[in-house]
């Protein structure tokens, strides 16, 4: 965790070890000495299920699923920078991984959290996420990188005057015991690396954040309640690059401020309820409503491919 002296735009860390924003807008600096027993028990159950799925398969100790929520998978240019950086970085540090582009194809507003929920649900199905050759079982993923397509490690280990090799070697390693966030001014956005068992234990993201914003804060509150508050990787301001993709930038500019305010009010309402952790049981991974329409692969860098999954989300009630 970065020290209290660390300071980023709009995200200043205090001497209590938490950011100014969390301390003042997310209920204070709340950290448990150890995870809550019910959360640990759920995570252990999930881990055992993953191990049973992997029985009889020749699999590495840890396998990472890089999940990239997106809308408009036909726009190849938005993937170019990530494909030229991330696969080479993961291979250089010895991470076993697969890349997935989760392409929202319905007419509803973009929903980053629901797309990730859909992908993790698909992991539990027989055919999984991966297009496999006949007779080959899909890999079992035990940790996730929930990844914006426009954020990635700097090239060749250079980050201004800071040597990034040591810092970036840790970024995508198995996150034990806590999740790891790779965005200097976010709690769970940009890139969040966490155990699949933990994601499942908190019932994933809320599905109620239609449009950009606040779904990452909601997930942060779920993780923090369990005692798994994400920690920040080191030297993020120098060693992770952000190039806002053209389509992403246009969609963010088009966000209705009223909808964003409703998202913020939803987070605030959770903080005001003593039993807010119960919300996760009724809204999340297990209640995501979607259809996986098509699965294809696309070249991503030299010798690597990204699995593209077209996802149609569904929502019964009217979107404000």
Residue ranges with strand state E in the chain: 7-8, 11-12, 64-70, 97-104, 143-147, 151-153, 158-159, 162-163, 180-181, 191-195, 231-232, 240-242, 290-299, 305-313
Q: What number of CA atoms fall less than 13 Å from residue 264's CA on the CB side?
A: 7
Q: Looking at the structure, tell me whether residues 19 and 74 fall in a common domain.
A: no
Domain span including residue 5: 1-30
Q: Looking at the structure, tell me whether residues 52 and 133 fall in a common domain.
A: yes
CA-CA-CA-CA torsion sign (5, 13, 116, 35)? positive
- Lowest mean pLDDT of 65-74, 87-96, 137-146, 242-251, name the range: 242-251
Split into its structural domains, the chain has a count of 2
Q: Which residues contact 79 (CB under 8 A, 6 or more apart)?
A: 101, 149, 298, 300, 306
DSSP string, 129-177: SS---TTPPPPPP-EEEEE-TTEEEPGGGEETTEE-HHHHHHHTS---S
pLDDT in tens, 66-119: 999 998 865 556 788 899 889 999 998 999 999 999 999 999 999 999 999 999
Q: Looking at the structure, tell me whether residues 114 and 244 fall in a common domain.
A: yes
Residue 217: inside a domain: yes
Q: Looking at the structure, tell me whether residues 250 and 149 fall in a common domain.
A: yes
Residue 167: inside a domain: yes
pLDDT in tens, 53-78: 888 777 778 999 999 999 886 555 67
Q: Looking at the structure, tell me whether residues 240 and 112 fall in a common domain.
A: yes
Q: Looking at the structure, tell me whether residues 42 and 183 fall in a common domain.
A: yes
Spatial contact of 34 and 27, defined as CB atoms under 8 Å apart: no
Q: Looking at the structure, tell me whether residues 47 and 12 fall in a common domain.
A: no
Residue 299: inside a domain: yes
The CATH number of the domain where 161 resides is what? 3.90.550.10
The residue with greater pLDDT, 142 or 273, is: 142
Q: Is residue 126 very low, low, confident or very high in pLDDT (cuts 50, 70, 90)? A: low
Q: Looking at the structure, tell me whether residues 243 and 277 fall in a common domain.
A: yes
Strand-pairing partners, residue 306, are: 99, 298
Q: Looking at the structure, tell me whether residues 190 and 237 fall in a common domain.
A: yes
Cα–Cα dist 184/167, whole Å? 13
Q: Looking at the structure, tell me whether residues 19 and 140 fall in a common domain.
A: no
What's the predicted TM-score (pTM) here?
0.87
Q: Looking at the structure, tell me whether residues 10 and 122 fall in a common domain.
A: no
Residue 318: inside a domain: no
């Amino acid at each position: 965790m970065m020290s209290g002296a660390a300071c980023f735009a709009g995200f200043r860390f205090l001497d209590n070890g938490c950011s100014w924003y969390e301390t003042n807008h997310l209920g204070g600096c709340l950290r448990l000495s150890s995870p809550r027993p019910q959360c640990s028990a759920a995570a252990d159950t999930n881990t055992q299920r993953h191990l049973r799925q992997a029985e009889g398969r020749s699999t590495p100790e840890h396998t990472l699923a890089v999940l990239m929520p997106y809308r408009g998978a036909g726009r190849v240019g938005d993937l170019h920078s990530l494909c030229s950086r991330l696969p080479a970085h993961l291979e250089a540090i010895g991470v076993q991984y697969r890349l997935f582009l989760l392409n929202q194809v319905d007419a509803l507003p973009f929903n980053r959290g629901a797309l990730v929920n859909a992908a993790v649900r698909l992991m539990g199905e027989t055919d999984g996420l991966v297009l496999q050759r006949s007779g080959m079982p899909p890999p079992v993923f035990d940790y996730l990188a929930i990844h914006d397509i426009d954020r990635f490690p700097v090239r060749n280990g250079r980050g201004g005057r800071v040597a990034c090799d040591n810092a970036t070697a840790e970024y995508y390693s198995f996150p034990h015991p806590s999740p790891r966030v790779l965005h200097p001014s976010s709690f769970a956005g940009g890139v969040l690396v966490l155990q699949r068992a933990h994601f499942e234990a908190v019932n994933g993201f809320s599905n109620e954040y239609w449009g950009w914003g606040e779904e990452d804060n909601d997930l942060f509150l779920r993780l923090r309640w369990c005692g798994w508050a994400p920690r920040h990787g080191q030297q993020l301001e120098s060693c992770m690059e952000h190039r806002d993709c053209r389509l992403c930038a246009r969609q963010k500019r088009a966000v209705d401020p009223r909808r964003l305010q409703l998202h913020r009010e939803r987070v605030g309402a959770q903080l005001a309820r003593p039993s807010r952790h119960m919300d996760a049981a009724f809204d999340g991974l297990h209640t995501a409503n979607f259809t996986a329409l098509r699965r294809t692969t696309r070249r991503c860098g030299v010798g690597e491919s990204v699995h593209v999954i077209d996802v149609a989300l569904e929502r019964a009630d009217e979107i404000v």
